[in-house]
A and B are shown apart, each in its own frame.
Chain A
Amino acid sequence: SQKIEQNSEALNIQEGKTATLTCNYTNYSPAYLQWYRQDPGRGPVFLLLIRENEKEKRKERLKVTFDTTLKQSLFHITASQPADSATYLCALDRSGATNKLIFGTGTLLAVQP
């Protein structure tokens, strides 16, 4: 069956360190992979999109990698801050043809001051 797995445990790191979140998928061939941030009581907010032919994408302190051989994406936040504390969701397009997405269960990141 189709499956997306993210770090099931919460990730606790110290302020200033780099946070690395993992997204693994099986039985998909997505054309794109997206990362969203979700704060408590709010809807997910889009952060980054990476295409299957891109190895890496950066936006300010965020970096995403996409390895279609390993079927894995890594999401990095450098120089992390307490304000980065949130749940981060990865999402894949189901078919490569539309933006109908399937989401991972998310990883809760807590950045300690």
Chain B
Amino acid sequence: DAGVIQSPRHEVTEMGQEVTLRCKPISGHNSLFWYRQTMMRGLELLIYFNNNVPIDDSGMPEDRFSAKMPNASFSTLKIQPSEPRDSAVYFCASSGGLAVQETQYFGPGTRLLVL
């Protein structure tokens, strides 16, 4: 299996622009998680889906952030408009389900820089 795939790996954009991050979870996994990692705040959960349905978006920082999962093999995280404080590494992870002992498998991340 190829693991969790994220694109792009790096993104540099200017403040005010729309940014779209993409994720392909491991085939057969039912749950998908979006995280953001910064030096100051560490790894924070933004939103997660189960069977393509958003379950908890309480970690999404503002209305500028939105996430979708139109099917079991694809999810997007969109920031519109982007701001310099959104600069971070964004990770997508998937798991076989939401049972508490299910392991999460992380993608390589998208490093976002907003100028």
**Which residues of A are interface residues toward B (Cβ below 8 A)?**
31-32, 34, 41-46, 49, 51, 89, 93, 96-106
Tell whether A49 pairs with B42 under 8 Å between CB atoms, given A43-B107, A100-B48, A100-B56: no
A101 to B106, CA, bound (A): 13
Residues of B within 8 A of A101 (CB): 45, 104
Interface hits, B1-52 → A, CB 8 Å: 4, 31, 42-45, 48
* Interface size bracket, B side: 20 to 34
- Contacting pair B91 A43 (CB below 8 A): yes
Which among A31, A43, A102 is the interface contact of B93 at CB below 8 angstroms?
A43
Which among B56, B95, B100, B106 is the interface contact of A32 at CB below 8 angstroms?
B100
In the assembled complex, 22 residue pairs joining A and B whose CB atoms fall closer than 8 Å, in A order, are A31-B100, A32-B101, A41-B108, A43-B107, A43-B109, A44-B91, A44-B106, A46-B103, A49-B101, A97-B100, A98-B99, A99-B95, A99-B100, A99-B101, A99-B103, A100-B48, A100-B56, A100-B98, A103-B44, A105-B42, A106-B42, A106-B43
**Is B105's CB within 8 Å of the partner chain A?**
yes
- Contacting pair B98 A98 (CB below 8 A): yes
Which among B104, B107, B109 is the interface contact of A46 at CB below 8 angstroms?
B104
Chain A CB count within 10 A is highest, among B42, B93, B99, B109, for: B42
Nearest residue (CB) in B for A45 is B106
A51 to B103, CA, bound (A): 13
Interface hits, B35-89 → A, CB 8 Å: 42-45, 48, 56
Residues of B within 8 A of A98 (CB): 98-100
Shortest B37–chain A CB gap in Å is 9
- Contacting pair B103 A49 (CB below 8 A): yes
Shortest B69–chain A CB gap in Å is 16
- Contacting pair B98 A99 (CB below 8 A): yes
